[in-house]
Structure 1
């Protein structure tokens, strides 16, 4: 069995990673530039070739700087399921800063809390939580 990890190509991977680790909690686990890994000594030497960040617990996102003009698509969304409503609301609020809310997070007819948004970097997020009392 494999493990899927999202890989985001970014116009500014460092800024985007800083936003996600602040909004979702986490840290940059590793960061390598084209200069570090390939010995590049050109205009790409400081661009991120590979970055790994942990967010919202034991979740990992890989990132890299784009080497060509970036075209934002709408065919992919990242989703995080939280254990408590308060965690979901907090993450949703932070991710929505500077972005646009598609559906506010609220209890859905199918039983869970759900909301979606596009963050300020053009990434669509779906945030969910099971309806139960927060324990902490």
Structure 2
């Protein structure tokens, strides 16, 4: 069976990755440039060819710098489900900095805490937490 890994193309993958590791907790696991992997000695040599991040408790995804024009954002939303409302609220608040909140994170009639936003890089996020007691 395969595993799905989102791959985000960015105008500045290093800055965007730093934003995500600060907002969601985590770390950059690996980063390779076009110069390192392909021996490029042109304007792309320092651009990120492949980066792997772990965020929000070990979820991994990939990033790279765009080397041709692209449109930020898409019809895809990334969703992270947290164990507690406080974890979800903290991540939501950090991701919202410089972005646009579509739905503030709050209890929904269907029984979960839910919020939706577009971050400052044009990525849509849905942040949730199941209705559970907060740890003491």
Q: Tell me, yes or no, whether TM beats 0.5.
A: yes
Is 1:35 the counterpart of 2:35? The answer is yes
The answer as to 2:80 corresponding to 1:80 is yes
Task: Give the SS at the match of 1:129.
Answer: strand
Residue 112 of structure 1 corresponds to 112
CA contact (8 A) 2:73 2:121 kept: no
Q: In the aligned structure 2, how far is the partner of 1:100 from the partner of 1:51?
A: 26
Cα-to-partner distance string for 1:78-97 (whole Å, 9 max, x where unaligned):
00000000000000000000
Q: Does 1:26 align with 2:34?
A: no
In 2, the alpha carbon distance for the partners of 1:20 and 1:70 equals: 20
Task: Within 5 Å, give how 1:1-136 maps onto structure 2.
Answer: 1-136=1-136
Question: Which secondary structure state, in structure 2, belongs to the residue aligned with residue 71 of structure 1?
Answer: coil
SS, match of residue 128 in structure 1: strand
Please give the root-mean-square deviation of Cα atoms over the aligned residues, in Å.
0.8
Number of residue pairs matched? 136
1 CA distance for matches of 2:15 and 2:73?
A: 20
Q: Which secondary structure does the structure 2 equivalent of 1:75 belong to?
A: coil
- Which residues of structure 1 form unaligned runs of 5+? none
- Please list every run of 5 or more consecutive structure 2 residues that lacks an aligned counterpart in the other structure: none
The list of structure 1 runs, each at least 4 consecutive aligned residues, that deviate by more than 4 angstroms after superposition, is none
